[in-house]
Structure 1
Amino acid sequence: MKKYKVILFQKYIRSFVTNFFKHLNSFEFTLEHKEESTAQLYKRLNDFNNEINRVKTTPLLKLRRILGIPNVRIKFSGKGDFLFTYGCLVFGNKPYCIYSETGLSIYNYDRAIADNPIARTIASFLIRRKKLKKIIFLSEAAQKSFLSSVKYSSRTKKIFERKSVYCYPLMEAQDYSIKKYSGGLKLLFIGTFYIKGGNELVTAFRRLKEIHRNIHLTIITSLGVMRQSDVKKIKEIEGIQLFDAKFTKDELDKLYKTHDIFIMPTYRDGFGLVWIEALSHAMPIIGTNQFATGEFCINSHNGFMYPNHPLQDYNNETFEIYGKYYNPKDFYTALFKLQKEGKMRPVEDFLCDSIERFIRNPGLLEEFSKNSAGLYNKKFHPDVISERIESIFLEAMEK
């Protein structure tokens, strides 16, 4: 059987992109640069003050906003049969497919670039070119957000609808055991602390610990982007283990296996790979409805979802992305203001109530664990994803 050769030429390609090619029959890939690991991403998060004051409006970005330049690479190559990119269009001589996290990915996630008519014209031209075979989105929410977030001509919309599809990232299957209640609960949080709702979770845990002694919380996060006063306070709370995000994949897998419930009340996510990792270990999930997360956690089926947190930066029905919190500084300013005013208390109440449900109903943990395993096997298992992405690539090669 002929194997098509796929070229991935961008720097810092993440492993969830290259994972696609581990199980395909008709395709093999060449990676021109090294992958970027999750650990490398966390290394860039090393200072609290820098992070909460971070803005993305560099001189280069300001120029792109003025000139209207979306994410475009010029690539002429004699290698391979087609190109596969993450979040960028291509002007070149090879057919290609894009993998895109949201409807604004090709505009650097920047509302100002997307609103520039020149950028839209360039993007529309490249979308209509025959060289672009497929725009593949990480989630159904992302696919919907493309047309709702940017105004395109009817001609471009028709071509987009023909070329667009979604396919979840491929996360390897795990040997798992169904979680069962044994008199206590082990809770797991993995993510950037404030952005992912860690502060509200810690507050909720302290309230619960006064009533339920046999609950435990493990937090894996980048300690460098936390207030050191918060780090000190959390380390003094009985029942909480706080670790810096320097774990290997095998070490993280062990944590998933030894904990009961994955908790992620996130306020800022375009996708959320850790949710799929949790599902692959049959973990029930407690989280917030944030863009694509409703595709991983079905409320009262395999977890509990808080429906409307106050920092949502998109339309819940159309998935139009507003871009109000594009700069981390603006997001943190809004979050800390809401926390100071006590307006995040409903999230804390939701977390308390959701955790308590598993204590009040001991059979719920096993029920939701089975449902998480079932959801993973139905939608996210490597066999399912491999079959889907292979069919997408084959269709792209036929056109």
Structure 2
Amino acid sequence: MKKVFFATRARGFLNHVFKCNEIEFNFIIDNKNIYELNNQKRKILSWIGRSPVFDWLGIIQRINAKNKLGIINGSFNRFLKSDKPYFIYLENPTALYHYKLNRKKSLLGKSNINRYLNDTNLKAIICMSEACCDTFEQVCGNFEGQKKVIYPYVPSNGYVNELQISQRAASSDINLLFISQGIRFLSKGGLEVIDAFKLLCLERDNINLTIVTSIKDVDEKLIDEIREIPKVRLLDFQLSYEEMEDLYSKSSILLQPTSDESFGLTILEGMKAGLPVIATRLYAIPEMVKDGENGFLTNPHWWFFDKNNIPNSKVWNHREQTLYSGKKNDELIQFLYQKISFLDDHRDILNRMSLKSYEIANSSPFSKESIIQSWNSTLKSIENSQ
């Protein structure tokens, strides 16, 4: 089988692609380079890499992929030093310059990005979303190669089917689910979720909330407060993929009132289990959640990306004063409270939205079949470009 050498670290969700036997290329990657949460060493290196000094120097990381096995090289969010045709699988354009808006503005930074984009071995930018693809030139620069969207491959949830989803919607209890990875509990809307849940519990005794987060990365006093709230289950972000699938299948509604999102993998995973989603219309989220069809959307507290999906420097460069400030948004709290109450009172709509989420998530362009076809055709075109 033809080989693709994947030269960079990669998020855990890409394992589904790497291990898929129906993709006609064999991915070679060191298992040590698969991660979901950064360890302490990586956090320190990431902090150093985002230094303002490096902005001025215009330093853009390129990973060495020369003299490696395979006919194609690949990367996640990074340029490569490659002696073969290569592609980049891209979360959002700013990832190519370390999510630092000022790095692209420096003369050296702009020069380096243009030079790397014009590398004749860089054959394709594969974007995780339409939001990434549509804004690439404006945010990153001109690219003459192939540019397309292949959504993350999330397998169908084996714990659910349409009958089970309908039975779940008719159940007396409403089980809410909120997931926040890493240190982003505040920026994902965790405080608003907690306050909305407290309001719901004043008048309803059938509402439960499960929070999955990296407990050590959340303020200790806040964790203690959460543990004191009745009917809240707090789980550390160390569940296996199968355990997460089971958790999704036993939930009723996914809450993602985020101000800080480049894709929203949790949303797609929840939809695979037939969960309606109450979220914000930030970046790629409206590509999955159709307001009034399989969930409800509202404006985020902070526009990390603006309404045209361009990074908003007023938030992006001032996160401590915005995303991580701990300031609550009363409108977002009321929105969550009202929409959860509405779905609890109208189980027919909860059922319809649940089934619609399941349908969208298991149809093109999110289905296994369409994603495999896209990967096969894209990799073949890169191979033939030599």
Q: Same fold (TM over 0.5)?
A: yes
Report the identity percentage: 24
Alignment-derived partner of residue 117 in structure 1: 107
Match of 1:247 among 224, 239, 247: 239
Q: Distance between the aligned counterparts of 1:337 and 1:129, measured in 2?
A: 41
Aligned partners of 1:111 and 1:322 also within 8 Å = no
Number of residues paired by the alignment?
Answer: 373
2:32 to 31, 34, 57: 34
Distance 1:13-1:338 versus aligned 2 partners, 3 A rule: closer
Which structure 2 segments of 5+ residues have no match? none
Match of 1:185 in 2: 174
Where does residue 370 of structure 2 map in the other structure?
Answer: 384
The alpha-carbon deviation at position 59 of structure 1 amounts to 7.2
> How far apart are 1:277 and its partner, in Å?
0.8
Tell me which of 366, 373, 376 is aligned to 2:358. 373
Alignment of 1:175-214 (within 5 A): 175=158, 176=160, 177-178=164-165, 179-191=168-180, 192-214=184-206
Q: Residue 146 of structure 2 corresponds to which residue in structure 1?
A: 163
From 52, 55, 58, give the equivalent of 1:68. Answer: 58
3-state SS, counterpart of residue 99 of structure 2: coil
The equivalent residue for 1:397 is 383
Compared CA separation, residues 15 and 58, structure 1 to 2 (3 A): closer
Which residue is equivalent to 1:298? 290
3-state secondary structure, aligned to 1:189: strand
Aligned to 2:123: 133
Give how far 1:337 is off: 5.0
Displacement of 1:373 in angstroms is 0.8
Written as runs of structure 1 = structure 2, the 5 A alignment for 1:303-322 is 303-306=295-298, 308-317=299-308, 319-322=309-312
Q: 1:82 aligns with which of 69, 72, 85?
A: 72
- Displacement after TM superposition at 1:256 (Å): 0.9
Following superposition, the deviation at residue 26 of structure 1 comes to: 2.2
Cα gap change, 1:25 to 1:235, in 2 (>3 Å): closer
- Contact (CA 8 Å) 2:187, 2:324: kept in 1 or not? no
Q: Deviations over 1:186-227 (max 9, x none)?
A: 111111421211110110111111111111111111222223
Call closer, same or farther: CA 1:18–1:231 in 2, change over 3 Å: closer
Counterpart pick for 1:16 among 13, 16, 20: 13
- The 2-side partners of 1:226 and 1:320 are apart by 28
* Change over 3 Å in CA distance of 1:24–1:119 after alignment to 2: farther
Distance 1:226 1:73, change over 3 A: closer
Over 3 Å counting, the alpha-carbon distance change for 1:324 and 1:55 in structure 2 is: farther
Q: Please list, as runs of the form range in 1=range in 2, the aligned pairs for 1:341-360 lying within 5 A after superposition.
A: 344-360=329-345
Aligned AA (1:24): E
CA distance in 1, matches of 2:242, 2:83: 41
User: Are the counterparts in 2 of residues 263 and 285 from structure 1 also a CA contact under 8 Å?
Assistant: yes
In the aligned structure 1, how far is the partner of 2:283 from the partner of 2:354?
23
Q: Is the 8 A contact 1:23 1:386 kept in 2?
A: no
SS at match of 1:241: strand
Do 1:8 and 1:29's aligned partners in 2 also have CA atoms closer than 8 Å? Answer: yes
Q: Tell whether the 8 Å contact from 2:90 to 2:126 is kept in structure 1 after alignment.
A: yes
**SS where residue 270 of structure 1 aligns?**
coil
Question: 1:142 and 2:132 equivalent?
Answer: yes
Q: 1:75 to 1:244 in 2, by over 3 A?
A: closer
Letter in 2 for 1:398: N
Separation of aligned partners in 1, 2:378 and 2:242? 31
Partner residue, 1:226:
218
CA distance in 1, matches of 2:174, 2:68: 56
Unaligned runs of 5+ in 1: 46-50
* Aligned-residue CA RMSD (Å): 2.4
Match of 1:172 among 151, 155, 161: 155
Work out whether residues 13 and 34 of structure 1, in 8 Å CA contact, stay in contact via their aligned partners in 2. Answer: no
Q: TM-score, normalised by structure 2?
A: 0.89
Within 2, Cα distance between the matches of 1:44 and 1:197?
24
Partner Cα distance (1:28, 1:57) in 2: 33
The structure, 1 or 2, with the larger RCO (C-alpha pairs under 8 Å, 6+ apart) is 1
8 Å contact from structure 1 (residues 71, 87) kept in 2: no
1:103-152 deviation per Cα after TM superposition (whole angstroms, max 9, x unaligned): 111111111111123222222223223211100111111112322224x4
Offset of residue 55 of structure 1:
11
